Amino acid sequence: MYTCVCFYLPDHRRSALSFFTMGSSCSNHLGIPPGNGPNAVGCTDFMMDHTAEGTFFRLYYPCQEMESAGKPDWVPYKEYFNGLADFMKMNRALSERIFNYLFGSFKIPAYLDAPFKSNEKCPVIIFSHGLGAFRTLYSAICAEMASQGFIVASVEHRDQSASATYYFCEKPESERSNEWMYYRALQHGESEFPLRNKQVKQRADECILALDKLTEINSGISVQNVLETHFDWSTLKNSMDLCRIAVMGHSFGGATVIEALCKEVKFKCGVALDSWMTPLDDEIFPRVKQPIFFINSEKFQWAGNISRMKKLDSAVIQRKMITIRGTVHQSFPDFTFLTGNWIGKLMKLKGEIDPELAIDLCNKATLAFLQRHLGLEKNFNQWDPLINGEDENLIPGTNVNLLQSAI
């Protein structure tokens, strides 16, 4: 009955998309909000090797401010539009034109390959995207964390849960080409749990692999980046505080947070945004020993999903939950900032709340939680009340009535 999607399209999606294009003229006034912290933000990409098993992530970090540096396209290649079309069960040729028209001009709010700069060691966040998403679609959250002094690796998963991703086969330079992997839909009659459970395990392993690679980079080991970027990875030597590492994700990425906490104790805490709990085995819940913060939307959650979150309640380990009023499942990815109001609501990319206010509440609550559980010496504790849902736009716990069936 319920599925975890980064993008939701109702049955009337084709007619809705005609309205979608009509409203794009307001895109001049739209854009992904930049970070609010004291640091300028840089970003670069890292691909580990020439196989589908290696890690691939977008790195966000504090940087030297460089107006001369470009800002990367929000969607890097047209193949991602094709993947989104497959995920939404739309015609590729039509949707590529529509998506490119609507979103092709938007940029990530970060300087591409800008030199790293920080006056102190940076805590680390590994971020996991939702079903049908990819590494660049949560740049508002990742850029905010980097502006506040974190190094953030936004993993692009290769378990066929991303709408699209790619790797390079090992060939001579002149023959090298992208090998694309697209979203794998459920087959007719296929049960969802076995596939999603296998995927969430792989996703957690990919998050851990990204952390392992950052650990090597931090120690000064020379790493091969298959991608030809201009970023000097050696400048990250001794840049990270590897005693202060968190894992964070949205939707399927929220389930990935739980799985990764179970598998890797180096993650000191987790932040799960509107988590989709279906992929997880019940037996892992008692094995998770770290603090978890569930930040939910008002419109996505249901009793069965919340009841699984509640299985992680503990008398001795802090497990917190808040709900942001007026939000929908898509209030966390960047799409919510890139459509006009009525179109965004029609496509369920926006809720009733202003999207920048919603993401600001989410980010501030996250920062307060991370300060508390990573032992940071920052001023993020000014937002401690948000952890308890103390704001007119927050609900402590959940808005879902758990007296209804938990199935």
Q: Where residue 173 falls among pLDDT bands split at 50, 70, 90?
A: low
Give the separation between CA 80 and CA 135, rounded to whole angstroms. 11
pLDDT at 27: 38
Q: Where residue 28 falls among pLDDT bands split at 50, 70, 90?
A: very low
pLDDT at 174: 59
The residue from 86, 329, 331, 334 that is catalytic is 329
**Is the model's pLDDT at 125 over the cut of 90?**
yes
Tokens 């080991």, located at residue: 221
Phi/psi of residue 180, nearest 5 degrees: -90, 140
What is the average pLDDT across 59-66?
Answer: 94
Amino acid residing at 244: R
Q: Where residue 196 falls among pLDDT bands split at 50, 70, 90?
A: very high
Is 95 an active-site residue? no
Among residues 152, 194, 210, 184, which one has the least CA distance to residue 281? 194
Alpha carbon of 160 to those of 69, 85, 181, 184, 212: distances in Å?
Answer: 33, 15, 7, 5, 22
Q: Are 47 and 227 in contact (CB under 8 A)?
A: yes
Give the separation between CA 330 and CA 348, rounded to whole angstroms. 7
Classify each residue of 338-357 as buried b or exposed e, where b means 16 or more C-beta atoms within 10 Å of its C-beta: bbbeebbebbbbbbebebee
Handedness of CA 39, 44, 47, 52 (dihedral sign): positive
Give the separation between CA 51 and CA 22, rounded to whole angstroms. 42
Give the separation between CA 372 and CA 123, rounded to whole angstroms. 13
pLDDT at 9: 37
Q: Where residue 23 falls among pLDDT bands split at 50, 70, 90?
A: very low
* Surface-to-core class of residue 6, CB atoms within 10 Å of its CB (0-12 exposed, 13-18 middle, 19+ buried): buried
pLDDT at 14: 34
pLDDT at 175: 65
Comparing 16-20, 113-117, 259-263, which segment has the lowest mean pLDDT? 16-20
Among residues 89, 71, 92, 73, which one has the least CA distance to residue 81? 92
Give the H/E segment covering residue 195.
helix 192-219
Phi/psi of residue 395, nearest 5 degrees: -115, 120
The model's pLDDT over 181-191, given as tens digits with 9 standing for 90+, comes to 999 999 999 99
The residue from 113, 159, 241, 274 that is catalytic is 274
Is 250 an active-site residue? no
Phi/psi of residue 74, nearest 5 degrees: -65, -45
**CA 208: distance to chain centroid?**
15
Give the separation between CA 322 and CA 207, rounded to whole angstroms. 25
Among residues 346, 249, 332, which one has the least CA distance to residue 298? 332
**Can you count the helices (H) and strands (E) in the chain?**
10, 12
Is 118 an active-site residue? no
Greatest extent of the chain over all pairs of C-alpha atoms, in Å: 62
- 3-state class (DSSP) for residue 136: coil
**Is the model's pLDDT at 26 over the cut of 50?**
no
The residue from 95, 128, 154, 251 that is catalytic is 251
